[in-house]
Amino acid sequence: MFQQRTVSLVIPAYNEEETIQGVVEEFKKEPHLDEILVVDNNCKDRTAALAAAAGARVIAESKPGYGSALLAGMSAAKGDILVLVEADGSFRARDVVKLLVYLDDAGMVMGTRTTKQMVEQGANMRFLLRWGNVFMAKFLQVCWMRPAEPRFTDVGCTFRALSRETFLKIKPRLSERGPAFSPEMMCAALQERCRIIEVPVTYSQRMGGESKHSDTFSRQARTAWKMFRTICRKRFLERSVATPAAPR
């Protein structure tokens, strides 16, 4: 619990048996978390069983894709605050409180993996991937420079926290099933006049397995194109709310 509000951690998972148990066990030690929810997104291995054995609540989502899993997890979570994180062990539980404290001032708090001093050796944040994220984040930032004036350096970081109120506002605007779901969430929050703050988080080497979206240049390029199209669609083809809403 954080400031009298319950906190749920949502972990989307697709064939993460190498890492899921360690991730759940690490985050279970974080005192502010009231529940850990793992979304079994059509896993063909022991991910679900290992997550449950480690103490997580496991739900199944048959619609394939990272976005589908996150949307299902947030919808099923019980907390007043929702924290999202990867199943690969690249993020640290000690950074949860860093996201939570800024929810006093924002509806969504984004982690960023592009602060070089906090990218650990061996992490999947090579030069091209890092600066590709920065470029796409700056494009999104410019698109919403008026009226929101956001400051972004990363569009692909799963590690983020948002209030349930923010989730309920943006949920009708979320439709992406793949990795473009990350910037779509950011765009949807800006469309709803929700304040977003970005803070640096530690980014570590994966505990095991490979990224489903950024392990090769071709996958990175496809992901970047999908993100670019999503940002353009949200900014130029969809309406924002007519009147400003509360920031939280």
Which residues does residue 38 pair with via DSSP β-bridges, in sequence order? 11, 58
Q: What is the pTM of this model?
A: 0.91
Type of residue numbered 92: R
Q: How confident is the model at residue 210 (pLDDT cuts 50, 70, 90)?
A: low
Q: How many residues does the chain have?
A: 248
CA 49 vs CA 53, 68, 167, 210: distances in Å: 6, 21, 28, 21
Check: CB of residue 83 under 8 Å from CB of residue 54.
no
CA distance 185 to 150: 14
Residue 243 confidence (pLDDT): 45
- What digits encode the pLDDT tens for the residues 97-122? 999 999 999 999 999 998 888 886 66
Residue 125 confidence (pLDDT): 67
Domains and CATH numbers, the chain: 7-236 (3.90.550.10)
- What digits encode the pLDDT tens for the residues 126-152? 777 888 889 999 999 999 998 788 999
- pLDDT top residue among 231 and 243: 231
Across the range 231-235, mean pLDDT stands at 96
Residue 88 confidence (pLDDT): 95
Does residue 109 sit in helix, strand or coil?
A: strand
Q: Poorest-confidence range of 10-14, 73-77, 163-167, 204-208? A: 204-208
CA 47-74-27 angle, 5° bins: 55
- What digits encode the pLDDT tens for the residues 83-93? 999 999 999 99
In the predicted model, is pLDDT for residue 5 greater than 50?
yes
Across the range 224-240, mean pLDDT stands at 93
Please give the backbone phi and psi of residue 37, each rounded to the nearest 5 degrees, phi first.
Answer: -115, 125
